[in-house]
Amino acid sequence: MNRLELTKNAFKFAHFACTNFNIASIQTKKEILHSLGQSFILKEKKLTVELVPWLV
């Protein structure tokens, strides 16, 4: 996948995530979050995520 396609896909995902997260089911919210990263840690009401490389 070239950089242009990767960039297009990233913007499509960002648009989908923004417009649908608040109205999505719990399962869809989990899928959106898992698409963003791994190693989710919730400590003192703060969520820490190790982001996927394409997002950094």
Question: At residue 3, does pLDDT exceed 80?
Answer: yes
The runs of H, that is alpha helices, within the chain are 3-20, 26-36
| Domain ranges (residues) in the chain | 3-55
Q: Cα–Cα distance between 27 and 38 in angstroms, integer?
A: 16
What pLDDT score does 33 carry? 87
What pLDDT score does 41 carry? 92
Q: What is the pTM of this model?
A: 0.64
How would residue 4 be classed by pLDDT, with cut points 50, 70 and 90? very high
Q: For the segment 5-56, what is each residue's pLDDT rounded down to a tens digit?
A: 988 988 998 899 989 899 999 999 989 888 888 889 999 999 899 988 877 6
Contacting residues for 42 by C-beta, under 8 A, at least 6 apart: 48
What pLDDT score does 43 carry? 94
Q: Cα–Cα distance between 30 and 21 in angstroms, integer?
A: 10
